[in-house]
């Protein structure tokens, strides 16, 4: 399989990015992986401890909003491919601070596009700019049958999804206007190891362990399509290497769950693995005020990816959830450092402010 000499992965210290970095470093030893991450609250180098000493891995702390820094990285490492994951990613935070989302997700993406365009200067042979996006750009499904396809009209509702939609438009504009060789994927909700415990699954696992309330928004009837994170990383790998330039690919788990049903599975599995009696933690379920503008249902039609590149999710949900709960139970140090904020003090000392 073709592989590039130097690939720039942005947001590699985050949840999905760390799985993509690990996959590239281990699978493509002939390729140098440059991980550029600002180390916001969501970035944690502990996610990459097992590969940080590898010869084909470099970490650079930088903000994708810093255009000069991005240009310098393209020049210094002769970057030939980009997998862009750096973003503000949590819907609830976007409701309280939409500007941070416009800055990083829109302007940061534009910076990277411009840096790639200038560095590659029309010499696009073998170059790829891969933008990792979300199914949330398509808006909310209001019935139980329709699925998001690559042709679904964009209709974002949250500041997060609006910022991701905007970044997708810039990526396509750079392809249509300048011929930049771009690829885009829009994926459904991910879960698995190293996810920051503000998102539903890791937050609830942690709360079940600690016997804290489980805040279910509204009636818990919203539906999400869940995909194990390593299956997403594998899809990114296939699309990066085999997908068509200029194309969009939807990625999804074909695995829809109403929040309340998923939460009951989480409670069952976590109680079981903790050796607690069945149903012990159900009383922790606490219905709280709904999220503003809460999208009812997301569900992906991933048939293009299956048909054209032969990709399929590898894990059944029950197995993925067991693996995930097991991982959080087996990694209390990681979880404690993240929930206490200790990891951030450490990086502030090591790198200072940017």
The percent of the chain in helix, strand and coil, each rounded to the nearest 5, is 45, 15, 35
Closest among 255, 268, 270 to 325, alpha carbons compared? 270
Residues in the chain: 354
Residue 250 C-beta: closest distance to ligand NAD, Å = 11
Q: Does 41 bind ligand TYD (CB under 6 A)?
A: no
Among 46, 173, 203, 285, indicate the residue that binds ligand TYD (CB under 6 A): 203
Residues 227, 51: contact at Cβ < 8 Å? no
Among 104, 105, 185, 259, indicate the residue that binds ligand TYD (CB under 6 A): 259
Q: Does 200 bind ligand TYD (CB under 6 A)?
A: yes
Question: How many CB atoms are located within 10 Å of the residue 221 CB?
Answer: 15
Among 86, 116, 254, 302, indicate the residue that binds ligand NAD (CB under 6 A): 86
Task: Give the footprint of ligand NAD on residues 12-31 (CB under 6 A).
Answer: 13-17
CA–CA dist 212, 198 (Å, integer)? 14
Q: Which is nearer to ligand TYD, 65 or 91 (CB)?
A: 91
CA–CA dist 165, 159 (Å, integer)? 10
Task: Give the footprint of ligand TYD on residues 213-242 (CB under 6 A).
Answer: 215-217, 222, 224
Question: How many CB atoms are located within 10 Å of the residue 309 CB?
Answer: 16
Residue 249 C-beta: closest distance to ligand NAD, Å = 12
Residues 6 or more apart in contact with residue 13 via CB below 8 angstroms: 35, 37, 39, 43, 44, 45, 47, 48, 59
Residue 333 C-beta: closest distance to ligand TYD, Å = 23
- Which one of ligand NAD, ligand TYD, none is in contact with 200 (Cβ closer than 5 to 8 A by kind)? ligand TYD
Contact pattern from residue 177 through residue 216 relative to ligand NAD, giving x for each residue in contact according to CB under 6 A and a dash for the rest: ----------x-xx-----x--------------------
Residues 81, 127: contact at Cβ < 8 Å? yes
Q: Extract the tokens encoding 134.
A: 């979300």
Catalytic-role residue among 63, 80, 135, 301 = 135
Catalytic-role residue among 80, 136, 230, 231 = 136
**Active site positions, annotated:** 135-136, 160
Question: Can you give the binding site for ligand NAD, defined by CB under 6 A?
Answer: 10-11, 13-17, 37-40, 42-43, 63-65, 85-89, 104, 108, 132, 134, 164, 187, 189-190, 196
């Amino acid at each position: 399989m073709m592989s590039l000499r130097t690939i720039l992965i942005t947001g590699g210290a985050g949840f999905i990015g760390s799985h993509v970095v690990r996959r590239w470093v281990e699978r493509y030893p002939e390729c140098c992986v440059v991980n550029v991450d600002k180390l916001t609250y969501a970035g944690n180098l502990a996610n990459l401890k097992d590969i940080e000493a590898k010869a084909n891995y470099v970490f650079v702390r930088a903000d994708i909003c810093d255009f000069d820094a991005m240009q310098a990285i393209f020049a210094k490492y002769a970057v030939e491919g980009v997998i862009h994951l750096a973003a503000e990613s949590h819907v609830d935070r976007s409701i309280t601070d939409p500007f941070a989302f416009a800055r990083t997700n829109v302007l940061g993406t534009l910076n990277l596009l411009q840096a790639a365009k200038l560095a590659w200067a029309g010499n696009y042979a073998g170059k790829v700019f891969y933008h990792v996006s979300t199914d949330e750009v398509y808006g909310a499904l209001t019935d139980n049958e329709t699925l998001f396809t690559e042709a679904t009209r964009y209709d974002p509702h949250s500041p997060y999804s609006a910022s991701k939609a905007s970044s997708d438009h810039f990526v396509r504009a750079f392809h249509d206007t300048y011929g930049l060789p771009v690829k885009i994927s829009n994926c459904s909700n991910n879960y698995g190891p190293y996810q920051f415990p503000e998102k539903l699954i890791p937050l609830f696992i942690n709360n079940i362990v600690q016997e804290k309330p489980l805040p279910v928004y509204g009636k818990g009837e919203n539906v999400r399509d869940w995909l194990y994170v390593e299956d997403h990383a594998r899809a990114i790998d296939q699309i990066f290497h085999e997908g068509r330039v200029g194309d969009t690919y939807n990625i999804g788990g074909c695995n829809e769950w109403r929040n309340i049903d998923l939460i009951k599975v989480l409670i069952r599995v976590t109680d079981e693995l903790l050796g607690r009696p069945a149903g012990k933690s159900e009383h922790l379920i606490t219905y709280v005020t709904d999220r503003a503008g809460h999208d009812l249902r997301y569900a992906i039609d991933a048939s293009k990816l299956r048909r054209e590149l032969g990709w399929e999710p590898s894990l059944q949900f029950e197995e993925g959830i067991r693996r995930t709960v097991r991982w959080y139970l087996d990694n209390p140090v990681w979880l404690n450092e993240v929930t206490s904020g200790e990891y951030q003090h450490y990086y502030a000392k090591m790198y200072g402010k940017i």
